[in-house]
Structure 1
């Protein structure tokens, strides 16, 4: 009887241990399923209102909304530094212009586009009355772009090909300057002759007496194009699927929020730019501004850059350069915009096609 009692006590003890362990494992699984993983996401952006959706994600903590417990580390740096940091594994997601993405991809960077931000007015501006077109620029007339290989550089090359017959005709005029510094130089009429600018600096420069637009980005490209893209490394995409999904959902919510609530979005963003909210709202809704997570114009940039010698190849399929959520959205565009795309426009009834 004692042996049987001892056996039963031992069995109960084992079952109790297994039950507690099972509960602990179950709780841990539930937490992981709910996103309580303490995952760290490292994201880098640059300067300008083109990055407004990413800034909304940051300010409203939208990634944390979809992934409770996530540690989101935000960094602000130039495009070249972003490219290097992603290649070295110091970033998970980086936002750049299309051109820097293509250059890095061409060199073997293991990343793909995970979202877009939309189109924004870009333009070459000057305070010099004698500079009416690219033909008027002499060697000493310096043109500021963020860096060699930036999207502004590529747009200038496209314009040079059209006007001068040589895409690299203006390369010797280039000087690297961040947008805030270049805008200050144009407004104060010193150091440089012109600036290939982006919002909000473009708007501030054009509001300055004597500053004129030499050419705009759409004329250079030949139509509307996606300005900025967000890229995710393969390691982040493949090994952190929950975090990747949370980021994509956060971006989609931020873009929809800006398009549907520009006044509220402006109030959130105004302190970052040290501008009145009314002015930020004006810039968010400026003609030619279109926030959407679906990129377009990708192959247009790639084909030009290969032809001009800035990259050595173009993808055979967008699957090579875009993660599945992006290719799915692009694939639905046949025959018109998908409901998801329409939801990201300020007035979908007026944007039935691109």
Structure 2
């Protein structure tokens, strides 16, 4: 009798342990499934991405998600990053409002996780015959990173105001990556270059003159922000929140400890640019960092007006992910 009772209890305990093991296994699988197996993060050249580059260099995400395979890629423009997101080859992208809004309009399904940078970007020329955009002849070339990037949007806004036609200079536009555009301007292969820090600073140091400043057109503008699809964020919310927090911390470092941030950036490129030079760039009055999206609605309204968008965002809530909690608004 006692043996039968013992067998009964043993059977029940065995079932309980089996059930516990199943639950633990299921719980473990759930945790694993909430961590992406692979994440490719793409960004563009320049110090507008300094805070994101600090996240990369400090391996903040790699330490928090050791099971995830990370790849970081520098691409020449937002359009290339958008194509990578669509093809599911890139999970997180960084770029300006122009290419982002085109993707949003076309149903890419991405939203803003955080802004990175509000730096002014300048249209610069070395041609003594060019004083304003009214002086551009049909054969003169204006270099910029993409035809739907924020530089192109600003140029079309100025063309609408000064030339009466937003596309008046479209035939002058030449797509070129920022570093190559810098060299092409200095060697006279293009007549003007619409670029960003630090390339614009280098061009001015070499005799370039500023024709347009973005701040005069759209005011404070998020020239660089981090995007991911709503589907990816909802599938891996802890990863999304961790990336947002890492960007917040890196932004604070850039703003409060520019010398330390400058050293990190100098280390990234192997000392090709000194810590002192990076610090000068980071603390230039034309450079600013912050996480709140700015000028997306202004850009969207103008892009819709001239036919670049089929629909227009009416509020920032349509464009942002939960960590931003309604931040931004213009």
**TM-score of the superposed pair, with normalisation by structure 1:** 0.85
Residues 36 and 68, structure 1, Cα contact 8 Å, conserved in 2: no
Secondary structure at the aligned position of 1:214 is classed as strand
Correspondence for 2:315: 317
C-alpha spacing 1:174/1:100, structure 2 compared with 1 (3 Å)? same
RMSD: 2.4
Q: Which moved more, 1:284-293 or 1:171-180?
A: 284-293
Number of residue equivalences: 327
* Residue correspondence of structure 1 range 41-52 to structure 2 within 5 A: 41-52=39-50
Identify unmatched segments of 5+ residues in structure 1: 332-353
The alpha-carbon deviation at position 49 of structure 1 amounts to 0.6
Q: Is the 8 A contact 1:35 1:68 kept in 2?
A: no
1:125, distance to aligned residue in structure 2 (A): 0.8
Q: Check conservation: 1:112, 1:233, Cα contact below 8 A.
A: yes
CA distance in 2, matches of 1:48, 1:149: 19
Say if 1:123 and 1:173 are closer, same or farther in 2 by CA, change over 3 A.
same
Q: For the residues of structure 2 that align with 1:36 and 1:326, how far apart are their CA atoms?
A: 21
Task: Give CA deviations for 1:155-193 in whole Å, capped at 9, x if unaligned.
Answer: 111121222121111111000100000101112x22111
Match of 1:213? 210
Question: Does the 8 A contact of 2:78 with 2:100 survive in 1?
Answer: no
For normalisation by structure 2, the TM-score amounts to 0.91
Give the Cα–Cα distance (whole angstroms) in 1 for the partners of residues 118 and 35 of structure 2: 35
Unaligned runs of 5+ in 2: none
Indicate the SS of the match to 1:94.
strand
Q: Establish whether residue 96 from structure 1 lines up as the match of residue 92 from structure 2.
A: no
Structure 1 residue 147: Cα displacement: 1.4
| TM-superposed deviation, 1:42 | 2.2
Per-residue CA distance 1:55-101 (angstroms, 9 max, x = gap): 01111112234445333221222321211111222222111110001
Give CA deviations for 1:94-120 in whole Å, capped at 9, x if unaligned.
111100011111112111111111201
Deviates more, 1:107-116 or 1:317-326: 317-326
2:237 is aligned to 241
Task: Answer with 27-36 or 138-147: which moved more.
Answer: 27-36
Q: Which runs of structure 2 are paired with 1:159-308 in the superposition (5 Å)?
A: 159-187=158-186, 189-208=187-206, 210-221=207-218, 223-273=219-269, 274-308=272-306
